[in-house]
Structure 1
């Protein structure tokens, strides 16, 4: 095992809003990283009935969707539809069309994609700023 294998691909970004979950998604997302993401979202929902989400993709290299438990995906989708208001996606690939399709039963979620060079506009769109701290799991 390489020491880099233990570096989490989902990294929480501290922000100026308690009701916003901001994360960096770095490299390849394993099933364990996906489960971690759903756990971070559940924790945010426990504190706030409605949240906004910011996802910044960094050197994205795919997701192991097939290896994430089907029940986790179903529950994660259902809870997102209940709790998420806005979602800003920064970087490539632009996955917002796929998310809109997957969450088509929830027209209340507003997705917006921003190019990497337009990151400041994403933070502004959500009315939030990063505080400079970044965390690993949980």
Structure 2
């Protein structure tokens, strides 16, 4: 990456458990970011039938709503439902917590929302933590 390159808006965070996945989402989320996230999750499903997932959102600047309704995104969401045991979101706009509370009864996976200031509680709920950097 050069100094002029912009880092991706979706970045994977290594965790303390092989079957726990975490992602940091920053800024404005585009269709390419959503496809990248679902691509990374598809790789996880190849290795683990069931995973736990934490998405940490900060400095949120919006979302390309057309990305939510693209065929690839809908397929990714549908496939994810089969593989996610626990799903936590930390941060993002306030409506995310309301949305998770609204949809929680309709899914078999456990779902929780945490304000960004309580990201440590989200990690504990998931039963994982960020992996230590290599020595």
**TM-score of the superposed pair, with normalisation by structure 2:** 0.83
Q: Which stretch of structure 1 is more off in the superposition, 21-30 or 124-133? A: 124-133
- Secondary structure at 1:18's aligned position in 2? coil
- Secondary structure at 2:92's aligned position in 1? coil
How far residue 70 of structure 1 moved from its aligned partner, in angstroms, is 2.1
Equivalent in the alignment of 2:126? 126
Q: Which stretch of structure 1 is more off in the superposition, 64-73 or 12-21? A: 64-73
Partners of 1:88 and 1:114 within 8 A in 2: yes
Residues 38, 65 of structure 1: alpha-carbon distance in 2 compared, 3 angstrom cutoff: farther
Equivalent in the alignment of 1:3? 4
RMSD: 2.3
Equivalent in the alignment of 2:31? 31
Q: Counterparts of 1:13 and 1:69 in 2: how far apart (Å)?
A: 26
Equivalent in the alignment of 1:136? none
Instruction: Note the 1:1-138 alignment, pairs <5 A.
Output: 3=4, 6-67=6-67, 70-94=70-94, 95-98=96-99, 107-133=107-133
Number of equivalenced pairs: 130
How far residue 61 of structure 1 moved from its aligned partner, in angstroms, is 1.1
Q: Counterparts of 2:103 and 2:75 in 1: how far apart (Å)?
A: 13
Q: Counterparts of 1:43 and 1:83 in 2: how far apart (Å)?
A: 12
Q: Structure 1 unaligned runs (5+)?
A: 134-138
**TM-score of the superposed pair, with normalisation by structure 1:** 0.82
